[in-house]
Amino acid sequence: MSFPYNDVVLEHFKNPRNIGSIKDPDGKATEGSPACGDMVSLYLNVDPKTLIISDIKFESYGCASNIATGSIITELAKGQTIDEAKKITWKQASEALGGLPSIKVHCSVLAIETLRAAIQNYEEKNGLVTEKVDTTVEVITKRLKKVMNPIKGLDMIRTNLVKDISVKDGIVDILIDLPENHQFANAIKSDAIEKIETLWDVKEVNVTFTE
């Protein structure tokens, strides 16, 4: 069987660089693709003085193209400052891989978005965010669009898992339409908290369940 992938893509798919996770990373993110339901997690450590990415690892539940892009972007980002790494585009990643089939472009976009989200997570945790937008229900909704509902394989907003969101004086309350003892309740709750708690003006995040 011949694959529509070139040798570079296949080589990165078979021997991905920087695969795995980092324990207690300085920044991390998990992003899912609405196009295919796949997910990518990315972990990074940053030198606080130089803001250079000293270590970076990724895990992918995506296809060969996604794994190859994850591999190449970790290679491109390692040793770069966070500002330089933020500018890496999916086009650069695709070029470094010698090109990807057009139907697989969203897979490399997902990998790049995850890298940017992990950098953003580092910046938020370290007070490096310059654009301080007030947290509103819209901001929270946008963030929750990045939290997967594993029951459906799409995000928790699109699948109507969120019944209510309120934001007042830095306290965020989120009501989820699931029984508290559901097998995915804890995972969804911690993913949601992780996405919200780093916002600069958020003091507390409470996630409750309808039953």
Give residues in contact with ligand FES (CB under 6 A). 33, 36, 38, 62-63, 65-66, 104, 107, 110
Handedness of CA 107, 104, 160, 132 (dihedral sign): positive
Confirm if 107 and 63 have CB atoms less than 8 A apart. Answer: yes
Among residues 124, 122, 145, which one has the least CA distance to residue 133?
Answer: 124
For ligand FES, the closer of residues 33 and 198 by Cβ is 33
Residue whose entry in the numeric block shows the structure tokens 């969101």: 165
For ligand FES, the closer of residues 30 and 65 by Cβ is 65
For ligand FES, the closer of residues 58 and 122 by Cβ is 58
Integer Cα distance of 183 and 23 in angstroms: 25
Closest CB 109 distance from ligand FES, rounded Å: 9
Closest CB 67 distance from ligand FES, rounded Å: 9
For ligand FES, the closer of residues 41 and 65 by Cβ is 65
Residue 98 neighbours by CB distance under 10 Å: 14
Closest CB 111 distance from ligand FES, rounded Å: 8
Integer Cα distance of 91 and 102 in angstroms: 11
Rg of the chain, C-alpha, whole Å: 18
What strand order describes the sheet that includes 162-168?
162-168, 171-176, 204-209
Q: Which is it for strands 39-46 and 53-60: parallel, antiparallel or unpaired?
A: antiparallel
For ligand FES, the closer of residues 27 and 70 by Cβ is 70
Closest CB 102 distance from ligand FES, rounded Å: 12
Catalytic residue numbers read 36, 107
Closest CB 77 distance from ligand FES, rounded Å: 19
